[in-house]
Structure 1
Amino acid sequence: MIEYFFSQYRDYPTFDIILEIVAVIFGLFSVWYAKKDNILVFPTGIVSTLIFVYLLWKWTLWGDMMINGYYFVMSIYGWYHWTRKKEDTVEFPISKISRSEKRIAIILFIFTVAFVVSVYHYFHKFTTWYAYVDTFITGIFFIGMWLMAKRKIENWIFWIIGDVISIPLYFIKGFTFTSFQYLVFTIVAVYGYLEWKKTLNSSPKMELQKS
């Protein structure tokens, strides 16, 4: 069993294996803090994404590298966005996506997929079937991260879709630790959605709408 799951690490540098494990641990912390609507989601996420950018660059997985680079940038934006307050009241609490934000999400998805496809074509990376899946997942995760930075509850739906696809995908690519990470991500994302939904339904604004 161990040989089946971890044989691909036999020829990996020990330092890279340790880095991947550290990145996975911080990634798990980040998702857990996101579930709890805790601002620590961003500093822990920044550590994880920076490490993954380096590793994915070494592994020449450009689509995955761009995702994590984007996560890094959006984590800085989200960190700032979540701290904004008006008279000690959080300016942007958990909320639902608006109609205009839905349009932006669609545009973001199309632009992201088109950009990744062009990069993959340029570097001749469409050599495996999962390279095509990468382009789709990149678009999904870009929307998920953007919505999380804006504290929109729908971000969890996109995380769940992307995480479920990523579990077998990373295992096929040979990154077992990262594959296990996405398995945990999926579970936490489901609970995160339920917890955010409970918080949203109990907010004063939602209570007024119900009454």
Structure 2
Amino acid sequence: MSHDPRPSQRTRSQRPPAPGAAPLRPLVAALLACAAVLVLFVAGAAASRFGKKPAAATAADAPSTAGPTTKPPPGIGDPARDGKFEFVVTRVDCSRTSLGVEHLKRTAKGRFCIVTLSVRDIGDGSQYFLGHAQKALDAAGAAYGNDEIAGLYVNRDNQTFLRRLTPGDRVTGQLVFDIPKTARLTSLELHDSLLSGGVKVALK
């Protein structure tokens, strides 16, 4: 009786699976389930974030459009400082065309503007007030120097501008500017010395 060495069909189908070769289908199903949960979580977070309406901007959040405030220049009656001197312009009179009396008289080429001001030494040393260092400016930007000869006429009873000022001294006098009849002064540029930066005083 001959023996068939090939295993029967029944024996081959009943062979147990190799060790460690676990079925893959349950593992794949579990991974797909986790991936689906993760996708749903991310989608929900995105909808929550981008679905909100932006809060209305408040006045505090709006950018400020106001520029830095510029302090106006001092005017008549205001103290104005340059270097060692503090000036206060108290009056401007542009109504005269001549100064002096009889033969001692000076006539303007246009008209005289007489500026009354006080000068106080606020430094720590003595110093002269120089009339020829002062300027007057009109609306067109033209500058006029102090007429020192005319100043002698208006200050003849007041020689305070001719002496050296010591710390704390205050003197009052007048500057005279000869300007065209059609010009209108808008400001003064006052200096404590010929080389100082000066300070402007508005006359409007």
In which range does the TM-score fall when normalised by the shorter chain?
under 0.3
Larger radius of gyration: 2
TM-score, normalization by structure 2: 0.23
TM-score, normalization by structure 1: 0.22
Select the structure that is richer in helix. Answer: 1
